[in-house]
Structure 1
């Protein structure tokens, strides 16, 4: 059976257009940091250090200064193994080879979203939307679990030969603050993470409208109608229906 690309007008439907937009967001998210960390330390009383981590082995910001601080407690940036990062991994750093595969995960979910949007008929489109949403949730769920595990591993395998001894193991959170020795850190999501969340949200909306050919304009009109916009406008009246004015009433006396 020959495959036919859906007509351009079909991509105005939310169930087709939103997956395409999500696909673009997943790829664009690779250009921005996924995780941001602000660090206050007594060694830098006049400034706050900042780190930005990407979906691939790259750390931006004050990573040199942070590496100097972390070595005192024996905490090191991970070694991605298969991808040379923009820093030199410490021999005692934990191996995190899956970090090198991060871009592949984003490109894979992006390609799947685009593939679903190009489904030749409604039946396969709806099946694709279900599979896309479940698969994307599984991919990012596994990624988040793996990241949290690696953070636990890094914080509980401190270098025993580090200058500062007796530091208890810790787990840096993906979101929140934590304090180790005289270093206080604040973790937040980066722009890339928010773009990914938005892309997943678009897939959820597309799934919601899987049985409808509604467009964004249709949804906007329905919403405006529901909230009653325009209900207070008076209908046009014909000249014969106009009420008699005061002057006309007085003339008829």
Structure 2
């Protein structure tokens, strides 16, 4: 019985959600989002780390002094005290406190699905993967909206007043006045992305009892299918680009030389005769 349970636990469709659950929990202990900033008045690049809960790390104090010139302030989580003093004109972001709830909730759901009976695990993995995509996607959209809101509610009393509104991207580069910034995943963000990818693989294997020992065979099978698909696609692409028969010089394709029919035989026109006498 114990051996049977261990074998079932080693099924990839169960093991991968468990690994994803661990990653989601660990992501709460490290920054999930990182912003790097450069400005002429700073020799070194400044780094701001943001966590899934109301906490900011890195060079946040220097960046706060830099942001005050354009009237851009760190958000206020409202219901809890972060590790910084929110500005009175900062935008309210009360949903920030829900970050740990989301990560721990998806981690718990992953562990529960991994323990489902065989006849229910397929539906469980489908719901888990779809739910995680929907939840993390909604979080990303909400964060992007808050960034838009912050960039378009600049303090009019800031030293660089009159600056046009801007929208810092959730991932990518931007410039404000003489400040250049780049936003990307922090360590926790990479853990979150890997966790979702593991859930995607588990969803793909939801009908398969393959275990971790079957991974080499699955990889070989996947590579073989990929090669077969490429082999089928390439001839089609090359056939579309194959040149047609060249057009004969001095005529259209398929035309016959003078005096010959289209099938290569001579025409039956009567021979020309030269009349007697001088030409008219």
Length-normalised TM-score, structure 2? 0.76
1:85 — aligned with what? 82
Gaps of 5+ in 1: 1-5, 229-253
Please give the alpha-carbon distance, in whole angstroms, between the structure 2 residues aligned to 1:143 and 1:90: 24
In structure 2, the residue corresponding to 1:69 is in which secondary structure?
A: helix
Does residue 20 in structure 1 map to residue 18 in structure 2?
yes
Q: Is the 8 A contact 1:174 1:189 kept in 2?
A: no
Q: How far is 1:101 from its partner? A: 0.9
Which residue, 78, 93, 97 being the options, matches 2:94?
Answer: 97
1:26, 1:106 within 8 Å by CA — same for their partners in 2? yes
Q: Cα offset for 1:74?
A: 0.7
- Tell me the distance in 2 between the aligned counterparts of 1:207 and 1:73: 46
Determine helix, strand or coil for the equivalent of 2:104: helix
Q: Which residue of 2 aligns with 1:152?
A: 148
Q: 2-side partners of 1:227 and 1:47: how far apart?
A: 45
> Relative to 1, partners in 2 of residues 1:159 and 1:217: Cα closer, same or farther, differing over 3 Å?
same
1:42 to 27, 40, 43: 40
Q: 1:227 to 1:192 in 2, by over 3 A?
A: closer
Q: CA deviation at 1:222?
A: 4.4
Task: List aligned pairs for 1:102-141, cutoff 5 A.
Answer: 102-119=99-116, 121-141=117-137
RMSD: 1.5
Kindly report which structure 2 residues correspond to 1:69-80, keeping only aligned pairs within 5 A, or say none.
69-80=66-77
DSSP-derived class of the 1:22 partner: helix
4+ runs deviating over 6 angstroms: 225-228
> Offset at 1:170?
0.5
Structure 1 distance, partners of 2:180, 2:220, is 48
Distance in 2 (CA, whole Å) between partners of 1:176 and 1:222 is 35
In structure 2, the residue matched to 1:59 is: 56
Give the C-alpha shift of residue 212 in structure 1: 0.9
Instruction: Provide the C-alpha distance between the structure 2 equivalents of 1:49 and 1:148, rounded to a whole number of angstroms.
Output: 22
Residues 19-77 of structure 1, C-alpha deviations (whole Å, 9 max, x = no match): 11111111011111111111111221x21111111111111111001100111111000
Deviation of 1:166 after TM superposition, in Å, equals 1.2
